[in-house]
Structures are given as structure tokens and as C-alpha cells.
Structure 1
């Protein structure tokens, strides 16, 4: 192989490494937030959203360039193989453990939330239940963190269909995709500003319509039109400014007490994250991209999906007497261990090597898993709710 043939391969590997490093930073932020050490660490979810919007749109645009269309069945099949095995493993393992050792309140919420997780609608279920995201004083819900997975899954369901419609509408595909994604992100921001409730922004924080801009801004950056514009911003200081801005937001943002987040702050953070992603993808040999490609950070990014799935159940089910940094260390150790087992024993084998997970046998396996999960929610008995006899009062 000549040097000219090697170069694209090396660039692609370096680019992927930098984006994996960004995933590692995102999951670190979430871990530190959920263990009480980084007030704005929840913004790691926004970084995940922007990454997902970018990567999925880039993948779909490549498919359109190669084939002239989008195979919805093929796309959704790949998403199912990527996401469902680890999710189903965590759902079954956590539910059984909760049923065996947790309090009746946690058992009830787990069995009630599980079907909505399975349907990728848990964010709307939690809102209907008035389960405020920022409320940490009620009964623990071991699946409440999966609201963000539901938002992404809903995006994966709708966005490829929109791109397919755009393809069939004629020319200027790239410009149309960029324009529609940008306009839709502005509409999403407007909805967030209009619907935010002071004191409890849960509706706009976990609602798909009001969070779509984070994914859509990533989608904008994946287009050739945006990449051409980013070429003019490729100076090293631009990346440093973006990292500094994101770091400041993560340090000072305080969820429910930072109203500015829900009147444009989250949009600004998502925009900065999307531009940073685009710069790392376009210039993989910069100092910033190489730092992000640091092997431990990249490995953390490679297990970030399963780590996100497991970290909150681990944290929620640990005994209350553990606190501070010892608790954080224990949560991280257990969660990383479970995530590594999930990746190497469940995710990768099914995603890359299991022939039965494709075609008709894949459809059968998917149906069997979904049916099995549905049976799980029905078979495990929920404790009866506590009732108080007030007949003798008065």
C-alpha cells in the first residue's frame, strides 16, 4: 500500500479517536454530576446529543451519496443491533435486582417505568407522572436517566424519514438538509423559551420537541455546507475558545437555578459542542484532536453507551451510608466494570459477529427480546401501595 492510500485511513482513525474522546468527556461529566461533584456535568448529555446528530447525519448523507437513497429498514436494523442488546441486558439485570433487594416504592416505579423505556417513550412518561428531573428528594427511579436515550431513539425514528423525503424532492440535498435542520433547531429553541416553567424546567429539559435542537445542530455541522464554513474557523485558537466556553458552562451551570440555560444557554452550549465536533472531524491532526484521542479517554468513550446505561442504577441502589468521593469511586468502579462486560460480551459480539442478528433471524430475535421484556413487566409482582386507614380520625 502506498503512502497516498494510507493517509485517508489514518485520518479517519484519528478523527474517530477524537470523537470517542469527546464521548469520554461527556460521560465523565454525567458521572460527576450524578455523584454530586460537577454542577453542570448534566451538559454532557447535550454533548452526546450533538455527537449523535452529527454522526447519524454524516452516515445517512454518505449512504445517499453512494446509493441515491436511504434504506430505512437497514438504518433501523443497525440502530437496533447497536442499542438494544446492552439496553435489554441492563433492563433485565436491574429490574431483577430491584425486585430482590430494593424498597417497595422503587420496585413499583421500576415496573411502571420499564414498559415506557422499552417503547422509547420514557421521557414523556416521566413528564406525565410529574417526575421532575431536578427533584432528588422523592423515591429513586432507577430508569429516570433513560429519558435521553428515548429522545435519541425518537430522533433516529424521524430524522431518516425526513432525509428520505428531502432526497425525493430533488436537487440541492446538502443545502436543503442544512437549512431544514437549522430552521427546526430554531423552532425547538423557541418552544423551549415559550414552555419553560420557572422553578421546574423538567418539561423543556426532557421533552423531545424542546431538546431536538441539540441533535439538529449536530446534524447541521455534518453537511458539506457547514464543513465549508468550518474551514474558515480551523485556527487552533477557535477550538481552545470553544473548549473553554464549554468548560465554564459545565462548572457554573446549576440546573433548575440557571434559568438562562432554558432561554438560550443550552442552545449556545449545543452550538459550541457541534462546532467543536465539526472542527475535530475536519482537522484530526490538531493538538486538540490529539489530546482528545488520548487512549484512556478514548476507551471511556468507547464504553460510554453502556456506562451511561449502568451508572445511574448503580448509584441509586448503593446503600445511603456511602457518600462523598468514596461513593463516587465505588460508583465509577462498578459502573465501568459492568460497562466493559456489556461492551465486550454483549454489544460487540451481537453488533459485529452475530449473523443471527441480521435478516429474518434478526427480526425474530428482536421480536423475542421485546416479547420477553413485556412479559418481565407483567410477571414480576409489584408490591401493593401503602394505604392509610383514616376512618378512625376526626
Structure 2
């Protein structure tokens, strides 16, 4: 062995010896700024839709769904790779710490405010919808109440936008269990998860198309079964790593592909008009969700493309960082301020919503999620139980106004 070969062998042995022999238990990946930017675009579309300035902005919810499916599935697969299993208790604990504090705060503040100053009809629907929001079933409750999504944007229900949060929460309950069952089946977990998600998304699409004949498409738009494909397509993309030999080729076409996908998504947002666009419910929503999932995957695998670079800019990133609380707060604010009546009210309502969302993130979400030791373990379980009991007491303790009566004698 020559001196150079001996030196190379020594370097190689040193590298092998200094490599970590253990993996992070949850398989965390580096933070991706472009995904925050995508959240910012999604919430901006929802805000513009709810203020009447972008008919297709409601599709921002589909972008949120695809992001959730991608991120949650990636997290689960990395945990399986690192530990060989999924800790459902730990997963659900993280979801509770992430979602419940901001949600419970908004529900309490809005309910008390509406009860104190709102009109009787609004008070009644708020107190009636609250328990279903708490149970993560408000989308099915609204369907049972025949609350039409496309005709409902008036001062009647302050929690109706939470149907999408309910769909995501139901996904968080079912999907990790299914992934854990798949993981126990042996090798090639990612491939089997991909097949399962693809088949389930196809079934969801078939259900949507089969049920889309009704004059009001609310059932297929807010039903968990018919919207599952938006989450599952994100899950499919999350299971497909980029093979090393094709990475250089991917880099050459990723920029063009990401621009094309972003342009297509933007075109759909500008053309879609809810109930007046029946093509959405016979495959259009599926195609949009697929494009969103592919764009997410490209932004992750090729973070230097023009689209990913633009999405990583600070304004969009910051909107994305507060997007969850902004989604929670904006609709109650809009109901109470009626921003559809002019740009001044629109700007005021958006500014107030953003301010409340920022307060929620920096004073409630982040402290409990990252720094509150009491929110973990046994004390965390007790805190969760206390919050749930407190919300249940809130719905039952506040008296609802009596429903209006009709004097039958005057009808004649």
C-alpha cells in the first residue's frame, strides 16, 4: 500500500468512525421556507375569497390539505425509518399541542363575544355548532343542518369555516394508524404506503364524481370521504424520494415544471367559481390537488427553482407562519365586520385578523408548543382534559336566545 493509499484509508476510517450511529427518534428534516410560503399563498387565497375578491381563492384549502398530507406522511415515514414504528401517543400529543391551544382560545373568545353582542340567530348557531367543532365533526354537522357552503357567506355562522379543520383532524386520527399497520407488514413501507394512498385517493375521487349530481355540491366539497384525495395525494408524493442518479436530470427540468404547475394552479384559482364550476367536482379538484402535491414535492426536492425561491421570501413566509391562527380568526372577524361591503372594511378586517393571528402565534401557540413543559406527559393529559371540560361547560352554561315564534292566527 502506498503512502497516498494509506492516507486515503485513514481518512475513510475516520469518517466511518465519526458518523453518528443513532438516528433522531422522530426523523426530523430541515425546515423548508418554501413550504411556509405555500401556506402564505393558501391563506391569502382564502382571505381574498371570503372578502369577495377572488372567486377561486377557496382552493387555498386544497393547498393546505395537500401540504398536511405531505408533511404528516413524511414525518411518519421518517419515524418508521428511524425507530421501526410510530408512537401514536406521541404523534397525537404533538398534534394537540400544535392545534388545540389556538383553537380553544378562539372558540372561547368568539363565543363569549357573540353571546354578549351578537344577534339572536348568530348566538343560537354559535352555541349549537361549538360542541361539533370541539368533537372535530363540524363538517358533518353542517351537512346535517343543510348549511350550503356556497350560499352561506353572511352573518349567520362564525364557526362554519372550521369544516376544513375537522377534515384534517379526522385524517390525523385515521391515517397514522393505517401507516402503522402497513409498517408492521415488513419491508418497502414507503411503497406500500404510496399504493394505499393512491388507491384510497382514487376511491375518494369516484365517490365525489358519483355524488356530484346534486344542485348544491356542498356534500362532496365538505365531506371527509369525498375530500380525502386532497390529503392523500400529498401523502403519495411524500413517499417518493428522489433517486440519486436522476437528481441532476430533475434539476434541469424542475424549474420549468414548477413554473408550469404554479401557473396552472393560478389559472384555476382565477377561473373557478364554486357551484358555477361543475367541472371542479368531476375531476377538477382532483387535478388541482395533484398539481399542488407535485409542486410541494418539487419545492422540497429543488429548493433553488424560481418558484421555490419566490415562495421563500419573507412576506409570504411570515403569512405562512401565522396561517393556522389567521385561518381560525379571519372568518369570525369577517362575519362581524362584513368586509364584503367595501375595500376599507376589507383592509380593516384583514388587518385585525392578522393582528389577532400574530398574538395567537407568539403568545399562545409557540410558548405552549415549544416551551411549556407542563403541556407534555401526564400534566399535558390533565391540561387537555381540563380544556375539553371547560369548552363543554361553555356551550352548556351560556343560555341561548329563544327561537322566534310564529303567530299562526295572524297567517290567515
Displacement of 1:78 after TM fit?
0.2
C-alpha contact 2:155 2:335 (8 A) present in aligned 1: no
- Listed one character per residue, the Cα deviations across residues 362-383 of structure 1 (whole Å, up to 9, x for unaligned) are 0000000000000000000000
Structure 1 segments unaligned to the other structure (5+ residues): 6-11
Q: Is 1:197 aligned to 2:206, yes or no? A: no
Specify which of 73, 76, 90 is matched with residue 92 of structure 2: 76
C-alpha contact 2:56 2:268 (8 A) present in aligned 1: yes
C-alpha contact 1:303 1:339 (8 A) present in aligned 2: yes
Q: Is 1:366 aligned to 2:384, yes or no? A: yes
C-alpha change, 1:393 and 1:24, in structure 2 (3 Å) is closer
Displacement of 1:324 after TM fit?
2.0
C-alpha change, 1:323 and 1:183, in structure 2 (3 Å) is same
**Which residue does the alignment assign to 1:122?**
138
**Which residue does the alignment assign to 2:356?**
338
**Which residue does the alignment assign to 2:336?**
317
Q: Is 1:302 aligned to 2:321, yes or no? A: yes
Q: Is 1:285 aligned to 2:301, yes or no? A: no
- Listed one character per residue, the Cα deviations across residues 36-83 of structure 1 (whole Å, up to 9, x for unaligned) are 000000000000000000000000001000100000000000000000
TM-score (norm 1): 0.94
Distance 1:226 1:274 in 2: 15
TM-score (norm 2): 0.90
C-alpha contact 2:338 2:345 (8 A) present in aligned 1: no
Q: Secondary structure at the match of 2:257?
A: helix
Displacement of 1:170 after TM fit?
1.4
Distance 1:79 1:393 in 2: 54
Specify which of 399, 408, 412 is matched with residue 381 of structure 1: 399
Q: Is 1:35 aligned to 2:54, yes or no? A: no
Specify which of 62, 65, 83 is matched with residue 46 of structure 1: 62
**Which residue does the alignment assign to 1:9?**
none
Within a 5 Å distance, the mapping from 1:1-394 to structure 2 comes to 16-136=32-152, 140-224=156-240, 234=251, 235=253, 236-318=255-337, 323-394=341-412
C-alpha change, 1:91 and 1:204, in structure 2 (3 Å) is same
Structure 2 segments unaligned to the other structure (5+ residues): 1-18, 20-28
C-alpha contact 1:178 1:225 (8 A) present in aligned 2: no
C-alpha contact 1:109 1:141 (8 A) present in aligned 2: yes
C-alpha change, 1:324 and 1:54, in structure 2 (3 Å) is same
Distance 1:228 1:42 in 2: 37
- Listed one character per residue, the Cα deviations across residues 298-334 of structure 1 (whole Å, up to 9, x for unaligned) are 00000000000000000001157x7221121111100
Displacement of 1:285 after TM fit?
1.9
Q: Secondary structure at the match of 1:194?
A: helix
- Listed one character per residue, the Cα deviations across residues 126-152 of structure 1 (whole Å, up to 9, x for unaligned) are 000000111137651000000000000
C-alpha contact 2:258 2:305 (8 A) present in aligned 1: no
Distance 2:256 2:164 in 1: 32
Displacement of 1:287 after TM fit?
2.1
Of structures 1 and 2, the larger Rg is shown by 2
Distance 1:42 1:229 in 2: 39
Q: Secondary structure at the match of 1:224?
A: coil
C-alpha change, 1:300 and 1:389, in structure 2 (3 Å) is same
Distance 2:246 2:181 in 1: 27
Distance 1:45 1:223 in 2: 22
Q: Secondary structure at the match of 2:408?
A: coil
Displacement of 1:197 after TM fit?
3.4
C-alpha contact 1:221 1:227 (8 A) present in aligned 2: no
Distance 2:212 2:69 in 1: 24
Distance 1:348 1:392 in 2: 58
